[in-house]
Structures are given as structure tokens and as C-alpha cells.
Amino acid sequence: MSKKRVLVLGDFPGDGLARLQARCEVTVWTAGVESSAELASLVPGYHGLLTQLIHGVDESVLAAADKLQIVSNCAVGVDNIDLEAAARRGVVVTNTPDVLTDDTADLTWALILAVMRGVVSGDGVMRRGEYHGWQPRFHLARSLTGSTLGVIGAGRIGRAVLARAPVFGIKTLYHQRQPLPAAREQELSTEWRGLPELLAASDIVSVHASLTDESHHLLDERALRSMKAGSFVINTARGPLIDERALVRVLQDGHLAGAGLDVYEDEPRVVPELLTLENVVLLPHIGSATWETRVRMADCCCHDLITMLADNRIPARAIGEVRR
């Protein structure tokens, strides 16, 4: 029997790809894909797609993919894929949960530390030769100990962020529609709050919700202004969860003391004003960017493509209902 065909979008570390090549006929496309229209022109004839979060797999792509059985997305977020359209067409979608949880939670804490302690601005001081000796009032920042962290979205990554807080002597609150079971809350030493209460009570707010129509601009200008004066906001999830232009305004007028961002509304573009603000630390979407994790993410995708296309089984990571 002839091997099924897989289109791999991008170049991935590790040997997952070699295992996939042994079981399927693989095309690795490294030229980049500019639009859904371009992606739609590439997909006919392929049974499997290995995508990244930058690839919009919408109705038009799925309609063009005449043989498609599976899209394996090398990310935990699947907001780049029209899940409803995929389900309607019987296309299985898988993602890469768990394997990137710790790295993303660590990077969230790196941003919390960076913005609260002025790590990046301090580095700038040294590089510009502006350090002229220890002074009691020089480069004062904010203590983590004794502050309150509010986590929005207590999924895997949100919970891993909460779990790291006691080390810093930080009290935590969390918000999501459905509170966690009491035992989980106890284990994480955290308490559920309604969103307005969490925003009003937290010194740092970190967003970990998935991006949906409902959560788009979850932190709009009103929500940002309802945060405690002098507090910080962190986003390692998805840019559109925060209204970026409103964020600029609340940072410029000093209502918020700072922001740590790894994700943006219109990646890879950033609103230019953010680049001019001293109290902001900006990273290039690197939450999962370690060798170890990127190898594991690629492994997950290759494993799921093999399971579906060579072993004829629905992978355990299949998201939602597949209507066949």
C-alpha cells in the first residue's frame, strides 16, 4: 500500500521527522507561507499537515485540502485553526499540550521578575556606562515578596505559574469560569475570584486563557484601568487577549507600572509605542523556545501523524468531536 502524504510546514529540531519519513511520504516546506490563500494552494493531495501557530487553517484551506485527515499543530494553542470547520469535514486536529507547560510557566516568571525588578533596564544601565556606584535610591524597583499574583485561566500553564509562586512568597488568586476542585486549590494555595475582584486585588496579573471570540480583548481599557494602580500585567498566552493600544495608554499615563509581553496582537508586528516604553519587557514569543521542548513538540506532532496516517488510529490528543 502506498504511503500517505504529509506536508510539514517548517523545520523542526529532533528526530521525529525521520520517524515520520519512515512511515509517510513527507514534503518539508521551509519557504514560509504568507497567507491562507497560499496555504490553500499547497494542501491539495496531502493527507496530513504539520502546522505552526502562524498558519491560519481556515475554511478555505480545509476546503482545498481534498484528502486531508489530520492537522497536527505544533503548539498548545489552536486558535489558528477553524476547529468547527475541521470537525465538520471529519479532519482530526491535534496539538502539543503538557510538553511546553513548564517552560512557558518559567518564562512567565522570568517576565514577572524582569518587570518588577527592572532586570532589563538595569542591564541597559550597565551597557550605557551609567552605573557610577551603589546608591540607596538608585534603580529602585518592587519587591515580589508579599505581593499578590492574579492568574487568569488556570489550565495547565496557569496552574504551573501558580505552583511556582510560594517560592517567591507571593499570594495568589485565580480566575476562570469554572473554579478548580477544592483539593486542587489547596494544593496550589490559591483562591478563586471573579474577574473584577481579581483585577482590583492583584499587584501582578498574568493571562493564561485560550484565545476565543469570547476572550478576545478580555483585558480591554476598562479592565486594565480597573487593575490596581501601579500594578503589572504579563502575557505569555496570546496577544489579542489584551487590547494592545489600550495597554499603551494605561502604561503611558502611569496607571500600570509595567508589562511583560511574549505575545502580540498582530505578530510579528508590535505597536511602535510599546518599543518606546521603559517599563515594558518585550520578548519574541519564546515561551516554549527551548531545545528540549521544541524537540518534544515536534515529536508529539510526528507521533500523531503516524498514528493517524500509518496506524489508522485516532490519536489520543485529538481535540473535540470528530464527525466522520
Beta-strand pair 48-51/5-9: parallel
Smallest separation (angstroms) from ligand DGY to the CB of 157: 9
Under rule CB under 6 A, which residues in 71-90 are in contact with ligand DGY? 75-77
DSSP 23: H
| Selected range binding ligand DGY among 2-10, 20-28, 70-78, 174-182, rule: CB under 6 A | 70-78
Backbone angles phi, psi at 211, to 5 degrees: -85, 120
Of 287, 296, 309, 317, which lies in the binding site for ligand DGY, with binding defined by CB under 6 A?
Answer: 287
Q: How far is the CB of 293 from ligand DGY (least distance, A)?
A: 8
Question: Least distance from C-beta 75 to ligand DGY, angstroms?
Answer: 3
Query: 204 is written with which cell numbers?
Result: 501582578
Query: CB 198 → ligand DGY: shortest distance, Å?
Result: 23
**Alpha-carbon span 226 to 193, nearest angstrom:** 15
CB contact set of 162 (below 8 Å; sequence gap of 6+): 149, 151, 154, 172, 174, 188, 190
Q: Does 240 bind ligand DGY (CB under 6 A)?
A: no
Cβ-contact 227, 193 below 8 angstroms: no
Q: What size, in residues, is the chain? A: 324
**Least distance to ligand DGY, CB of residue 128, Å:** 32
Residue 288 engages ligand DGY in binding (rule: CB under 6 A): yes
Q: Does 235 bind ligand DGY (CB under 6 A)?
A: no
C-alpha cell at 221: 481599557
The edge-to-edge listing of strands for the beta sheet with 25-29 is 25-29, 5-9, 48-51, 70-73, 92-94
Q: How many residues bind ligand DGY (CB under 6 A)?
A: 7
From 49, 65, 100, 227, residue interacting with ligand DGY (rule: CB under 6 A): 100
Active site residues: 238, 267, 285
153 binds ligand DGY (CB under 6 A): no
Three-state DSSP state, 73: strand
Between residue 39 and residue 68, which ones bind ligand DGY under the rule CB under 6 A?
A: 53
- The footprint of ligand DGY (CB under 6 A) covers 53, 75-77, 100, 287-288
